[in-house]
C-alpha cells in the first residue's frame, strides 16, 4: 500500500476546499485503489463523515494533537511517514508568514527539507502558487520547490509568480482546479432540494448570486477607491432588488463559505423583495448538492473563486465581481473573461447593466463556455497520471507531452 499525504485547508467551512479534497480522493482512488491518504485537518470528524468511504487517515491539528493548526507534530508526521506529499489549493503564499492559523508556507518550508532527505516527492497538485512579496517568503518557497520533482499548477499566474520572483523550479505541468470535475447529483436529488427550498418555481428563471466580505483586499485602484462594507452591502441589496424587478427572476443566494453568512444576512436585511430570494449554502448542503442547484440557474454572479468553479462544473455561465486576481485568471481560462466587474467605484447601475446583458446572452455564453470547461476537466484529471509516474516510477506511463516548461 502506498501512502499519500494531502495538505490543504480541510476544516469543512469552505465548499471549495471540500470540493478539492473530494475530487482529489475520487480521482486518485479510482486510478490507484491501494493508496492510503493521510489528511491533516482541523476537523477530523467532518473529514471522516464526508470522505470516510475513501481509504483515509485523519490527523488532528488542535493543541491536544500537539499542533497549532498546520504547525505541529501532526503535520511533521504526515510529511515524514508517507510515500508522497500533495499540496493543494492556494496555500503557498507569504502573507502573515508567522501566523500558523493563516499561513501554511512557513510550516511546510520548515518541515520539507526533512521530507527531501528521506526522498519523499513533494508535488503541488493542481495548485495556485503565490503571491510572494518578501525575501523570507521567496526563500521559503524555494525550499519547497527544491523538494519537488514536478509542479502541477492550475493557473498561468502561478507560473508568472515563480518567474517574477526568480525562483528555481522543476518541470511544470498545466493542470486545473480539482473542483472543476465535481459531479452533479441525481435529478431526483436536485428536485428534492428544490422542493424543500422553494427553488426554481419562477418561469422567468433563477439567477445565482454569491458574495464575500473581502471587499477592500484586492482593489485595483488607489486607496480612495475603496468601497467600504456599509456601501458594499447597500449596493448589493439594491442590485438584488433591481434584478428581481427588471429581469423578473428569482435569486438563489449561494453561500460557499461559513464566514460569508454574516455579510449575506446584512444585505438581506436591506432588500425589499426578500420573498423572491432563497438562501442556500454550505451550512446545509455539500459541494455536490450546491453544484446540482447551480446547474438549474441561468446565470451565476460570484465573488468567491470556487463558487464560479462549481458553476462552471454545472455548465452555468457567470459574471465575476472581482475581489481576487486569481478569480479573473480562472474565468479567462473558460472564456468568461469579458464578464468581470471590478470593485473600484462599484455601483448598482454597473452591476445591473452587466448582469442583465449576461442574462440575456446566457444560452450563447453557456454553449461557448462548455468546450473550454471540458478542456479544464481533462487537465485536472491529467494530474492523476502525472503523480502516478512518481508514486510508481517502475510502472510510469507519464506522457511527457504535458510538460510545459522547466527551469533548465
pLDDT for position 395: 60
CA 253/CA 290 separation, integer angstroms = 11
Q: Which residues of the chain have pLDDT under 70?
A: 216-226, 325-326, 395-408
Residue 246 lies in a domain: yes
Residue 291 lies in a domain: yes
Residue 212 lies in a domain: yes
Please count the structural domains in the chain.
2
CA 178/CA 176 separation, integer angstroms = 6
- Global pTM? 0.92
pLDDT for position 223: 42
pLDDT for position 101: 86
User: 155 with 10, same domain?
Assistant: yes
User: 83 with 128, same domain?
Assistant: yes
Q: Round the CA-based radius of gyration of the chain to a whole number and report it.
A: 21
User: 168 with 195, same domain?
Assistant: no
pLDDT for position 399: 46
Which residues are CB-neighbours of 197 under 8 A, at least 6 positions away?
Answer: 278, 280
* Structural domain that includes position 8: 2-174
Residue pointed to by grid coordinates 471540458: 374
21-43 burial string, b = 16+ CB within 10 Å, else e?
bbbbbbbbbeeeeebebbbbbbb
Crossing angle between the packed helical segments 15-31 and 362-391, to the nearest 10 degrees: 50
| H helix intervals, 256-324 | 261-268, 287-294, 305-313
pLDDT digits (tens, 9 = 90+) for 216-254: 654 444 444 467 899 999 999 999 999 999 999 999 999
- DSSP-assigned letter for residue 257: B
pLDDT for position 76: 96
pLDDT for position 392: 93
pLDDT for position 373: 98
pLDDT for position 31: 96
Residue 182 lies in a domain: no
Amino acid at each position: 500500500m502506498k501512502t499519500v499525504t494531502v495538505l490543504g485547508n480541510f476544516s469543512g467551512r469552505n465548499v471549495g476546499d471540500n470540493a478539492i479534497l473530494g475530487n482529489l480522493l475520487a480521482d486518485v482512488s479510482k486510478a490507484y485503489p491501494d493508496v492510503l491518504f493521510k489528511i491533516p485537518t482541523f476537523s477530523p470528524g467532518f473529514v471522516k463523515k464526508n470522505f470516510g468511504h475513501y481509504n483515509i487517515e485523519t490527523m488532528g491539528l488542535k493543541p491536544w494533537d500537539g499542533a497549532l493548526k498546520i504547525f505541529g507534530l501532526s503535520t511533521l508526521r504526515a510529511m515524514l511517514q508517507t510515500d508522497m506529499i500533495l499540496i493543494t489549493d492556494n496555500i503557498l503564499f507569504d502573507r502573515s508568514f508567522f501566523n500558523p492559523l493563516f499561513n501554511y508556507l512557513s510550516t511546510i518550508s520548515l518541515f520539507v527539507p526533512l521530507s527531501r532527505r528521506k526522498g519523499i516527492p513533494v508535488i503541488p497538485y493542481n495548485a495556485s502558487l503565490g503571491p510572494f512579496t518578501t525575501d523570507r517568503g521567496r526563500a521559503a518557497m524555494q525550499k519547497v520547490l527544491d523538494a519537488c520533482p514536478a509542479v502541477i499548477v492550475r493557473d498561468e499566474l502561478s507560473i508568472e509568480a515563480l518567474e517574477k520572483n526568480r525562483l528555481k523550479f522543476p518541470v511544470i505541468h498545466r493542470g486545473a482546479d480539482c473542483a472543476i470535475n465535481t459531479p452533479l447529483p441525481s435529478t431526483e436529488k436536485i428536485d428534492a432540494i428544490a422542493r424543500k427550498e422553494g427553488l426554481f418555481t419562477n418561469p422567468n428563471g433563477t439567477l445565482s448570486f454569491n458574495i464575500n466580505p473581502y471587499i477592500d483586499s484586492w482593489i485595483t485602484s488607489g486607496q480612495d477607491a475603496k468601497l467600504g462594507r456599509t456601501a458594499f452591502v447597500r449596493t448589493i441589496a439594491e442590485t438584488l432588488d433591481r434584478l428581481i424587478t427588471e429581469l423578473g427572476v428569482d435569486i438563489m443566494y449561494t453561500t460557499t463559505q461559513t464566514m460569508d453568512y454574516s455579510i449575506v444576512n446584512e444585505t438581506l436585511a436591506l432588500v425589499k423583495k426578500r420573498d423572491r430570494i432563497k438562501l442556500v449554502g454550505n451550512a446545509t448542503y455539500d459541494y455536490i448538492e450546491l453544484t446540482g442547484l447551480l446547474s438549474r440557474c441561468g446565470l451565476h454572479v460570484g465573488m468567491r473563486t470556487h463558487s464560479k468553479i462549481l458553476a462552471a462544473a454545472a455548465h452555468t455561465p457567470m459574471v465575476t465581481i472581482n475581489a481576487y486576481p486569481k478569480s479573473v485568471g480562472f474565468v479567462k481560462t473558460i472564456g468568461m473573461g469579458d464578464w468581470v466587474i471590478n470593485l473600484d467605484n462599484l455601483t448598482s447601475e454597473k452591476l445591473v447593466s452587466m448582469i442583465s446583458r449576461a442574462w440575456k446572452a446566457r444560452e450563447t455564453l453557456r454553449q461557448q463556455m462548455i468546450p473550454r470547461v471540458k478542456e479544464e476537466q481533462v487537465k485536472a484529471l491529467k494530474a492523476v497520471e502525472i503523480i502516478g509516474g512518481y508514486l510508481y516510477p517502475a510502472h510510469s506511463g507519464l506522457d511527457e507531452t504535458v510538460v510545459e516548461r522547466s527551469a533548465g
